[in-house]
């Protein structure tokens, strides 16, 4: 009590100190950085405006219809779920050798178990089935003894006739190597309020005790990685089952049941049915199956079946289609708001933020509700299906809305306007090859008739000249000159084109000729780079 009070005082003191520092820092900021404070105010106004806009859209009738669509679709997805118990092969972890067959049933809560009924549920006759109940309980209040200074937090009860074997030797069920001074506890007085007299013995021995193969007698409290964490043996009290039950105030039931089997274990399909049958009768947590060296755990965790996931995706697809259709109906309204706000100085990206908020609120408000309800009433597989559906709808609507309100691009890919001068730099170093490419492009141009082509090598440079007649317009054409200059690891091509005509050549024809001739040369060079 004193410790708690002390920690509370420390906590309040630290909190007050932190608040004082924050306020002091805030005052300094306000006094010395007024400009910054004004900026914050401006940003707050914008956020406020975005919030108002979101609230305005959320109140529209189409929001209700979208909510209805998503809600119904999520419910359909949840109801269409089907699942199967998960099966995990832990042979590598808990194998431990041996060819004996056995079941180990872990219950979620202490249960009253009819062992003969369990045997029949496991499809076993009473002759071939030896059931050994155990009770392993972690106490909320420690139990004090007159022997140990340490209080006891964990009680382990083993069925009486097997417990007796603990005093002198290991249980035959335990595969751990025998130790001297095996766990032994003797209870002198019984009852919750009685002082229990007990003897605690060798701790390392208690830790080594196993129920069957790798399953420890001490209950697993948790895991660090894959390594189980056991309670310290000095806090554990091991006694006959009947006495532990009395200590807990009567018929406490059992938490675990080891069933030794003489004969074979059914196949996995039958085992899953067995597990389902057992789960209907008892609150079964896990069913361990030891069969010819293989160890399987059938757990209460449910895995959705493929058909269930397919149904969920179909429901999601329908919901996406319906939601986007309904959403598109709201577009004229949203667009008119968008353009009005843009004119008022509202930043274009803010609409995307508003739509993201809107879609998130609409989808997840109903989605989370259905997921939570499904988890509570229909099970984890249904919740999983509803979650998949909601996530698919959310992603689709976010993509759709961001596409609709996409910011107009300031950069566009445009055609290079026809020009009289054009310079190209190609990585082709062989100047003769470049020369051939340019000449071929001039010769092979179907829009022009070649009237003359000549070339000359001047030093390292090559000069090409061609006179072309334009087929589409009589009496007009162009003279093309290309100078090829070798550069380091490249070739520079400088093209000059001059149009000519018997009559005045219109601007449109000039542009056509320049475009058709130069683009062919550029295209040929680029495609062979």
Partner 1 sequence: MGVDTVMAISGKLIRKGKGFRVGVIVSLGVGTLIYLVGSKIPSPLIILFAIPSSLSAVFTDMDTYESLFYALMIVGLTPHSIQGVAFLSSALLGALVTIPYVLMSPIYFLVGWLLATLSGYAGTRYLFNWVKEKVASER
Extended strands (E) in 404-460: 421-426, 448-458
Nearer to partner 1, 58 or 524 (CB): 58
Nearer to partner 1, 13 or 310 (CB): 310
Min separation Cβ 434 and partner 1, Å: 54
Assess 500 for contact with partner 1 (CB under 8 A): no
Distance CA 197, CA 219 (A): 23
Assess 18 for contact with partner 1 (CB under 8 A): no
131-152: burial string, b at 16+ Cβ within 10 Å, e else? bbbbbbbeeeeebebeebeeeb
For partner 1, how many residues bind (rule: CB under 8 A)?
28
Min separation Cβ 329 and partner 1, Å: 3
Among 46, 58, 60, 65, binds partner 1 (CB under 8 A): 65
Site for partner 1 in 327-356 (CB under 8 A): 328-329, 332
Min separation Cβ 310 and partner 1, Å: 7
Site for partner 1 in 299-328 (CB under 8 A): 307-308, 310-311, 314-315, 317-318, 321-323, 325-326, 328
Site for partner 1 in 43-62 (CB under 8 A): 62
Assess 377 for contact with partner 1 (CB under 8 A): no
Nearer to partner 1, 300 or 317 (CB): 317
Distance CA 94, CA 92 (A): 6
3-state helix, strand, coil in the chain (%, to 5): 50, 25, 25
Structure tokens that stand for 272 in this block: 């899953």
Nearer to partner 1, 135 or 393 (CB): 393
Instruction: Give the residue carrying structure tokens 């082509």.
Output: 453
Nearer to partner 1, 317 or 455 (CB): 317
Distance CA 391, CA 370 (A): 12
Nearer to partner 1, 75 or 462 (CB): 75
Contact string (CB under 8 A) for partner 1, positions 68-87, x = contact = xx--xx-xx--xxxx-----
Contact string (CB under 8 A) for partner 1, positions 456-485, x = contact = ------------------------------
Nearer to partner 1, 129 or 389 (CB): 389
Nearer to partner 1, 62 or 364 (CB): 62
Extended strands (E) in 192-330: 210-212, 215-216, 222-224, 227-229, 236-240, 254-261, 284-291, 294-304
255-270: burial string, b at 16+ Cβ within 10 Å, e else? bbbbbbbeeebeeeee
Q: Which positions lie near partner 1, rule CB under 8 A?
A: 62, 65, 68-69, 72-73, 75-76, 79-82, 307-308, 310-311, 314-315, 317-318, 321-323, 325-326, 328-329, 332
């Amino acid at each position: 009590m004193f410790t708690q009070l002390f920690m509370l005082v420390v906590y309040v003191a630290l909190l007050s100190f932190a608040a004082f520092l924050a306020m002091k820092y805030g005052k300094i900021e306000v006094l010395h950085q007024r400009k910054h404070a004004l900026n914050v105010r401006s940003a707050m106004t914008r956020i406020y405006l975005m919030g108002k806009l979101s609230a305005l859209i959320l109140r529209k009738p189409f929001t209700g219809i979208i909510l209805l669509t998503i809600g119904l679709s999520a419910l359909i997805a949840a109801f269409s779920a089907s699942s199967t118990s998960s099966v995990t092969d832990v042979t590598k972890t808990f194998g431990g050798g041996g060819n004996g067959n056995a079941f180990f049933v872990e219950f979620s809560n202490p249960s009253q178990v009819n062992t003969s009924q369990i045997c029949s549920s496991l499809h076993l006759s009473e002759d071939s089935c030896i059931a050994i109940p155990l009770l392993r309980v972690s106490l909320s209040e420690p139990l004090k003894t007159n022997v140990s200074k340490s209080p006891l937090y964990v009680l382990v009860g083993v069925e009486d006739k097997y417990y007796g074997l603990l005093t002198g030797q290991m249980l035959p069920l335990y595969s751990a190597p025998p130790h001297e001074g095996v766990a032994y506890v003797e209870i002198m007085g019984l009852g919750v309020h009685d002082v229990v007299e007990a003897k605690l013995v060798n701790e390392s021995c208690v830790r080594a005790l196993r129920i069957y193969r790798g399953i420890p007698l001490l209950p697993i409290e948790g895991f660090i990685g894959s390594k189980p964490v056991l309670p310290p043996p000095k806090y554990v009290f091991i006694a006959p089952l009947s006495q532990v039950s009395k200590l807990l105030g009567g018929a406490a039931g059992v938490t675990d049941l080891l069933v030794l089997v003489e004969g074979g274990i059914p196949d996995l399909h039958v085992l899953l049915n067995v597990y389902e049958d057992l789960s209907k009768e008892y609150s079964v947590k896990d069913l361990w199956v030891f069969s010819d060296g293989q160890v399987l755990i059938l757990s209460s965790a449910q895995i959705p079946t493929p058909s269930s996931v397919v149904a969920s995706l179909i429901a999601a697809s329908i919901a996406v289609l319906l939601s986007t259709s309904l959403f598109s109906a709201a577009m004229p309204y949203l667009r008119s708001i968008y353009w009005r706000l843009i004119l008022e100085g509202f930043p274009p990206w803010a609409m995307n933020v508003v739509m993201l908020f809107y879609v998130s609120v609409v989808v997840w408000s109903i989605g989370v509700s259905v997921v939570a309800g499904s988890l509570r009433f229909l099970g984890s597989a249904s919740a999983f299906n509803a979650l998949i559906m909601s996530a698919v709808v959310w992603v689709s609507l976010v993509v759709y809305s961001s596409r609709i309100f996409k910011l107009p691009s300031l950069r566009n890919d445009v055609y290079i306007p026809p020009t009289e001068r054009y310079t190209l730099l190609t990585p082709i170093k062989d100047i003769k090859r470049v020369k051939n490419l340019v000449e071929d492009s001039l010769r092979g141009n179907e829009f022009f008739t070649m009237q003359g082509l000549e070339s000359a090598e001047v030093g390292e440079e090559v000069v090409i000249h061609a006179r072309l007649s334009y087929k589409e317009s009589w009496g007009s054409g162009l003279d093309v000159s290309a100078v090829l200059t070798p550069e380091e690891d490249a070739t520079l091509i400088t093209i000059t084109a001059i149009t000519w005509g018997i009559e005045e050549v219109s601007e449109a024809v000039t542009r056509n000729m320049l475009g058709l001739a130069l683009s062919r040369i550029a295209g040929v060079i680029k495609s062979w780079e």
